[in-house]
Amino acid sequence: MFQHLDQFEFCHLHLRLDLLSPVNLPAFATLRLRRDLRRTAVQVLGEGPAFSALFDPPVAGDAVSARRYQRPGPAFVLAFSSHQPAVLDAGEALDLDLRLFGQGIRYAADFLACLEALGRSGLWRDDGRFAIGAVETVGPAGETQQLQGSGPGIGSNLPIISARWFLDSLPVATVWRLVLTTPARLLVAGRPLFRGDLQRIVPFILRRVTSVAHAHCGIDLIADPRLLLERCGNLVVHQGRLAWQDWRSLAGDDRSVDLGGLTGTVTFSTTEEDLLSLLHLGSLVGIGKGAAYGAGHFALELGSGRWPG
């Protein structure tokens, strides 16, 4: 069912941000990161090809693709460590995970330049100024290597991982645990989804994965997405649920808006390899609004125990 898996490419970097001033990072800091990093990128890159490729890819030119993929997101996905303390002092380090997809890989040095510029103003309300202390690549087999410098040539020296290699490297199992670690803000008819089961979030994962593949790798990853969605009934949930978690509320215009999303853990099994592959690819890109900046991130872990059926 999948096609062009060799062309769905990404690179994976671990960054160490050395803090130059203290910061108290609230859980919803990623909501502001989008605005601040994008504004910094305009100052550093202007509105040329690097900015467009990384932050503002164009909508597909043909009507069918535009309807299927809608507004594409950035060519990168950022994630702070889930075990990172909220309060950090100057001299401490903040771990940041970065993936760049498709044509975004060649602009790795431009992205790091934007991040360095953000470090001079701070991560959160002028607090948390930082310098990039180390850049580490993660290879196809999980091997890591320290990069020396972050100059213009960095994008041509990064180990590139294809979706096929990534999927082939995963263990074979039928029982898995999906752990949604940061709130996924999923909208249905313009309204947030406050409750959800695994089958209900699969269409969001499908849309996100195929949109990234089309916008940044130039491929239609799945010829007929409907065939894959029809197999959602073959996902068997054994335990767990997804529930709403508040990040914060915004008040104004005589109403308040809850900012947050679904989190939780679901243990499931399936014999549908394509469906399982989709979930694994979704773990690379996240789902929902703000996924590129740390929202809606989930991991797939091996499940344990024997389940009936």
**CATH code at 177?**
3.30.70.1900
| Residues 186, 128 share a domain | no
Mean pLDDT of 254-267: 77
Inform me whether the pLDDT recorded for 308 exceeds 50: no
Angle at 8 between CA 204 and CA 200, to 5 degrees: 15
Please give the tally of structural domains in the chain: 2
- Helix, strand, or coil (residue 264): strand
By the 8 A CB rule, do 1 and 227 touch? yes
Residue 202 to residue 187: CA distance in whole angstroms: 13
Residue 279 to residue 2: CA distance in whole angstroms: 13
Residue 58 to residue 41: CA distance in whole angstroms: 17
In a domain, residue 220? The reply is yes
pTM of the model: 0.92
Tell me the per-residue pLDDT of 131-141, one tens digit each, with 9 for 90 and over.
Answer: 999 999 998 88
Inform me whether the pLDDT recorded for 226 exceeds 80: yes
| Residues 11, 148 share a domain | yes
Q: How confident is the model at residue 212 (pLDDT cuts 50, 70, 90)?
A: very high
Q: How confident is the model at residue 260 (pLDDT cuts 50, 70, 90)?
A: confident
Nearest to 22 by CA among 123, 98, 132: 123
| Residues 148, 173 share a domain | no
| Alpha helices (H) in the chain, listed in sequence order | 29-45, 49-55, 63-69, 108-121, 163-168, 198-217, 225-229, 273-285
| Residues 227, 137 share a domain | no
Given this model, what pLDDT does residue 252 score?
47
In a domain, residue 135? The reply is yes
| Residues 47, 131 share a domain | yes
Mean pLDDT of 221-239: 91
By the 8 A CB rule, do 236 and 270 touch? yes
Which of the listed residues 163, 183, 213 is the one where a domain comes to its end?
163
Provide the 8-state DSSP code for 233.
Answer: G
In a domain, residue 309? The reply is no
What does residue 18 show for φ and ψ, rounded to 5 degrees?
-90, 115
Tokens representing 227 are 């065939």
| Residues 107, 221 share a domain | no
By the 8 A CB rule, do 112 and 155 touch? no
Tell me the per-residue pLDDT of 1-46, one tens digit each, with 9 for 90 and over.
Answer: 899 999 999 999 999 999 999 999 887 777 778 999 999 999 999 9
Inform me whether the pLDDT recorded for 156 exceeds 80: no
Inform me whether the pLDDT recorded for 223 exceeds 80: yes
Tell me the per-residue pLDDT of 83-114, one tens digit each, with 9 for 90 and over.
Answer: 778 899 999 999 999 999 999 999 999 999 99
| Residues 230, 155 share a domain | no
User: Pseudo-torsion of CA 204, 207, 210, 215, nearest 10°?
Assistant: -120
Cα 245 to the center of its chain, rounded Å: 19
Tokens representing 93 are 């380090």
Tokens representing 110 are 């431009």
Residue 126 sits in which domain range? 5-163
- Helix, strand, or coil (residue 231): helix
Angle at 54 between CA 19 and CA 296, to 5 degrees: 70
Q: How confident is the model at residue 152 (pLDDT cuts 50, 70, 90)?
A: low
User: Pseudo-torsion of CA 156, 15, 208, 2, nearest 10°?
Assistant: 50
Tell me the per-residue pLDDT of 165-190, one tens digit each, with 9 for 90 and over.
Answer: 999 999 999 899 999 989 999 988 88
In a domain, residue 307? The reply is no
Inform me whether the pLDDT recorded for 237 exceeds 80: yes
